[in-house]
Structure 1
């Protein structure tokens, strides 16, 4: 018991010391999605202004690399390749998916899809990208041929999609409050988990693949055992629908955010609160760094004239 309390105290002390926030304003309109790449040396943001911006991350320094243009609609979500630190994929309302090679700083692939895309995920083996649109159609793109391998239309609202660590199962969060677990590539229904009484909005797997977290419109964040498909803990510190969740690199912490003006950071093992990042606006995307306790997040911040700030922020600096 003492060691557990000591670990919690150590984490709380760490965040109290490393609690500085740096702000970046690379966009003209609201930022929808922020993500670190697999080695933590790059950070990307996608915006309603149709652009993608990539930054270089070097310890306490974050510097802008390049703005990427090409999409003709909002960039709603982006995802990095799990092992190739240079490859980034974006889902846009312009009915396309683009893959960017940030090493040569070019768009290397564009795949046209049937609808306005709102969510995207990349399989752990790197061979497939799945993208979902507003009509709940998921399109599977083979990244070795850059061609569409399959399409699957669902008769329920799908808000976010993600493969498990072994890429043989796909998890869908639904408007029915359930999590649909499908086999891959056969897409057979393996399980339908009654996770929440309200719409499930977001999902994230921890780096080890042992857990996954679901954020719901009931303002709860649930933690699940990925093998047993059993809920092991529920966090209830937020008052608004949970829009975004992210696990820390060591799988010890979960960050959850919503229209509440703070980001909750909690201990997965004990359920105790570790830290609260106080904000002035609702948060719609958060992402832990893959190697340290840095958190990138995008809020609904406004300029003095009421226009979107086009910004994102990074928490976790000592100065």
Structure 2
């Protein structure tokens, strides 16, 4: 399934990118109305997700707070809190074909589906272990949830029971689908990425290009430490993987060769995000400060967004040059219209 239609605006050169973002200041989306100073400890944002049209941003936090924001209105009174999780939230993700359907997973293995218009929890799946990863199939009909014990579960947004479960040999990190939905890219703690069929979740590529008894599964190798996350570019040209070795590797999806690596980051790479046109990529780390933007095709460093703390979670908007990220425990967005409140 192809990504949604993109607008014509495109910052096609490094100079245009820098000229656009240099005068901008990030907007802080703090929950001051209800929590006072939300930048401390427990309210650490673990996940950020845009809806398909880029009109809403959801955040999930370690203190069980699940909130949906209007990116043009940073005041908390314009946001919606969704209540019901009993444990810290690990991942949030909107249905890729439904603007108002949000999925969230907490580390107690509970997955909830929400209608953000009514604030209602419309479905719940329990018993998925110490869950830490979540990915929608591109057609929005099903999802994959992974846990730290190697459990991989295929679930439906309309059913309270698991469609199928698949035990993996190692802990599962944040996975990504191909745009057609037939393959899943599964990072492992060995620093590799497995390529599995969907929904069967079986290896689809082997060293000798033929599936037969004794044949060796082909995996992508781009890290010297655990591979923590994977993200496919909107154009489908590159698969980006982030590792505990502070490296982002960019694999060409035709030949499955690592074309280049990005090494300016500090600390394990916990999240990766491409701009809507695939021209630029940024990674989120849990050490250091600042967000480094890189040109995808050349590997050239483009711009540094200054931050006050490590930014573990990053998410470019799906339709425009607008970056959401966590900083000092709260949501910040750069690229929104600062005059609209």
Deviates more, 1:148-157 or 1:61-70: 61-70
Q: Which runs of structure 2 are paired with 1:279-294 in the superposition (5 Å)?
A: 279-294=307-322
Describe how 1:1-319 pairs up with structure 2 within 5 A.
7-17=13-23, 19-26=24-31, 29-58=43-72, 61-63=73-75, 64-190=78-204, 191-258=218-285, 259-299=287-327, 301=328, 310-317=329-336, 319=338
Please report how far the alpha carbon of residue 144 of structure 1 lies from its aligned counterpart in structure 2 after TM superposition.
Answer: 4.5
Q: Which structure shows the bigger proportion of residues in strand conformation? A: 1
Size of the aligned set, in residue pairs, is: 303
Residue 208 (structure 1) shift:
2.3
Counterpart-to-counterpart distance in 2, 1:65 and 1:257: 24
Unmatched runs of 5 consecutive residues or more in structure 1: 1-5, 302-309
Cα distance change, pair 37–239 in 1 and its aligned pair in 2 (3 A):
same
CA distance in 2, matches of 1:114, 1:269: 39
Separation of aligned partners in 2, 1:292 and 1:142: 30
Change (3 A) 1:318 1:52: closer
SS for the counterpart of 1:67 is strand
**Alpha-carbon distance, 1:138 to partner:** 0.9
Range with greater deviation from structure 2 (220-229 or 162-171) = 220-229
Any conservation in 2 of the 1:20–1:317 contact (CA below 8 Å)? no
Whether the 8 Å CA contact 1:113–1:139 is kept in 2: the answer is no
User: In structure 2, what is the Cα distance between the partners aligned to 1:139 and 1:247?
Assistant: 26
**1:104-162 Cα shifts (integer Å, max 9, x gaps):** 22111111123021111100011111111121201110234443111111112221112
Q: Normalising by structure 1, what TM-score?
A: 0.90
Residue 305 of structure 1 corresponds to which residue in structure 2? none
CA distance in 2 between counterparts of 1:62 and 1:41 reads 13
CA distance in 2, matches of 1:34, 1:25: 14
> Which consecutive unaligned segments of at least 5 residues does structure 2 have?
1-11, 32-37, 205-217
| Aligned-pair Cα RMSD in Å | 1.8
1:209 and 1:84 mapped to 2: Cα distance? 21
